[in-house]
């Protein structure tokens, strides 16, 4: 009992220390871009999705894994707004064709990307300037050198001016010679950061800063205004955020939950799971050292059962020897030999009519001449019954030894 109490106490102390270190440790933010809907990191979208859903209502905002082709083929959908958030978007031709058809039907499509794909630039007449991102040491801390950003949209009153973090917004240029309907929504210094371009019955929105649609932006007091102002430009009864799939070719798999292909690699990528794993390993090791070791028992040596067949044979043999019934033993040996040859060689030495063939086969098997085999068989077979005659012990041994020879004592004999 003392050993069990010590092991339990030690395990509780280790688990308690592990939990204390885990909760007391510094929880650094992961500034990698992922745009995952279940990520609470600065550049995830879990909080962003909740804020937009709260503002638009449960029926006014949803996140889906559908491709633009799926949206186009869904005949039950009415035209609504589509939001696509990615760091670097390069849609294939089928996705681009689906996007233009949706715009012609009256859908609004807002694409946020840090880069302008060549096909997108040719379709909507966009020209990309530059894009870079400044890393920060701590969440919510901005740099002193800021860039004045002006909101030029018409749906937010009064218009506001905000100072954004340098490098946070990626400027893009709209080609002046394009004849499509156009309107600048965000203007930074001499560059336009967000455009609304009329296409068919819908509007195409291109925002050069995908970070505006992240958890960081909705917590930033000034960027949140830009984010909500952009979303307010979208028409339709619902905003559907379409998570880019393989047909968008977003470069790095930003939406992948984990790059690990095995279970242990997946566990080690998440801090809570990693802590739980190591605590479990320590507890199991402690259990093996204490409780499991104490319960070991010495395995007694079990004596194998004795073979009593030889004793039985010796007993039966001594009884026959005491009775002096030697002729009966010869007859039993003959029946045993006949049965063995019948099973091994398929011959019947009890039938005199088959002696020629039987003796020839037995001679080939045991290596004796056929005439000698015939002599042994006919001699024993001609003996009278045990009840009518008797023989001495030497004669019995001779007959038994001869029968043993023809059982298979030659070179081809098999036990």
**pLDDT tens digits, residue range 113-166?**
877 778 888 888 776 654 444 333 333 333 344 445 555 554 443 344 444 443
Residues paired with residue 127 on neighbouring β-strands, in sequence order: 173
Would the pLDDT of 76 be above 70? yes
pTM to 2 decimal places: 0.52
In degrees rounded to 5, what are phi and psi of residue 208? -80, 5
Cα angle 159, 170, 198; round to 5? 65
Q: What is the pLDDT of residue 110?
A: 92
Give the integer Cα–Cα distance in Å for 38 and 63: 11
The token duo for 221 is 């007091």
Q: What is the pLDDT of residue 20?
A: 67
Read off the pLDDT of each residue in 57-65 and give the average, rounded to a whole number: 86
**Residue 339's pLDDT band (cuts 50, 70, 90):** very high
Q: What is the pLDDT of residue 240?
A: 92
71-80 LR contacts (CB < 8 Å, sep 24+): 71/98, 71/102, 71/107, 71/240, 71/242, 72/98, 72/101, 72/102, 78/236, 78/237, 79/105, 79/106, 79/107, 79/201, 79/202, 79/236, 80/107, 80/108, 80/236, 80/237, 80/238, 80/239, 80/240
**pLDDT tens digits, residue range 293-303?**
556 677 788 88
**pLDDT tens digits, residue range 77-86?**
889 999 998 8
Would the pLDDT of 285 be above 60? yes
Which stretch of 26-30, 34-38, 179-183, 410-414 has the lowest confidence by average pLDDT? 410-414
- Of 278 and 36, the structure prediction assigns the larger pLDDT to 278
**Residue 104's pLDDT band (cuts 50, 70, 90):** very high
Give the integer Cα–Cα distance in Å for 153 and 170: 18
Would the pLDDT of 107 be above 90? yes
Give the integer Cα–Cα distance in Å for 351 and 260: 80
**pLDDT tens digits, residue range 10-24?**
767 776 776 666 655
**pLDDT tens digits, residue range 299-325?**
788 888 887 787 887 888 788 777 878
> What is the 3-class SS of 80-133, one letter each residue?
CEEEEECCCCCCCHHHHHHHHHHHHHCCEEEEECCCCCHHHHHHHCEEECCCCC
Give the integer Cα–Cα distance in Å for 403 and 330: 9
Q: Which residue's entry shows tokens 């799926």?
A: 70
Q: What is the pLDDT of residue 27?
A: 56
**Residue 292's pLDDT band (cuts 50, 70, 90):** low
Give the integer Cα–Cα distance in Å for 169 and 165: 8
Read off the pLDDT of each residue in 199-214 and give the average, rounded to a whole number: 87
| Cα dihedral across residues 32, 34, 38, 42: positive or negative | positive
**pLDDT tens digits, residue range 215-255?**
888 888 778 888 888 888 888 888 999 887 655 655 444 44
List, in order of start, the domains of the chain with CATH numbers: 1-29+258-296 (no CATH), 35-254 (3.40.50), 315-408 (no CATH)
């Amino acid at each position: 009992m003392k050993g069990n109490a010590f092991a339990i106490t030690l395990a509780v102390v280790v688990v308690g220390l592990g939990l204390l270190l885990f909760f007391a440790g510094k929880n650094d933010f992961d500034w990698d871009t992922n745009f995952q809907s279940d990520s609470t990191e600065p550049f995830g979208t879990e909080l962003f999705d909740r804020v937009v859903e709260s503002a638009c209502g449960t029926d006014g905002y949803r996140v889906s894994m559908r491709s633009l082709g799926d949206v186009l083929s869904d005949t039950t959908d009415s035209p609504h707004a589509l939001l696509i958030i990615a760091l670097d978007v390069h849609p294939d031709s089928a996705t681009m064709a689906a996007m233009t058809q949706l715009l012609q039907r009256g859908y609004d499509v807002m694409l946020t990307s840090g880069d302008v794909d060549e096909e997108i630039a040719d379709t909507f007449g966009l020209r990309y300037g530059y894009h870079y991102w400044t890393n920060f040491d701590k969440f919510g801390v901005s740099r002193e050198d800021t860039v004045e950003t002006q909101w030029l949209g018409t749906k937010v009153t009064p218009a506001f001016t905000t100072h954004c973090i340098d490098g946070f917004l990626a400027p893009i240029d709209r080609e002046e010679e394009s004849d499509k309907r156009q309107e600048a929504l965000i203007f930074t210094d001499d560059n336009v950061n967000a455009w609304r371009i009329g296409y068919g019955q819908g509007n195409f929105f291109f925002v050069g800063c995908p970070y505006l649609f992240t958890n960081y932006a909705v917590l930033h007091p000034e960027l949140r205004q830009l984010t909500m102002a952009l979303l307010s430009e979208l028409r339709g009864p619902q905003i559907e955020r379409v998570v880019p799939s393989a047909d968008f070719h977003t470069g790095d798999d930003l939406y992948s939950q984990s790059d690990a292909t095995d279970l242990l690699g997946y566990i080690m990528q998440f801090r809570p799971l990693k802590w739980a794993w190591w605590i479990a390993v320590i507890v199991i090791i402690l259990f093996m050292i204490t409780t499991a070791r104490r319960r070991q028992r010495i395995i007694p040596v079990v004596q194998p059962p004795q073979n009593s067949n030889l004793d039985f044979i010796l007993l039966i043999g001594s009884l026959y020897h005491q009775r002096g019934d030697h002729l009966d033993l010869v007859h039993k040996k003959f029946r045993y030999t006949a049965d063995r040859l019948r099973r091994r060689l398929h011959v019947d030495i009890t039938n005199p009519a088959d002696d020629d063939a039987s003796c020839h086969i037995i001679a080939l098997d045991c290596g004796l001449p056929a005439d000698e085999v015939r002599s042994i068989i006919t001699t024993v077979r001609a003996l009278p019954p045990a009840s009518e005659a008797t023989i001495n012990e030497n004669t019995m041994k001779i007959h038994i030894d001869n029968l043993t020879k023809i059982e298979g004592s030659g070179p081809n004999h098999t036990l």
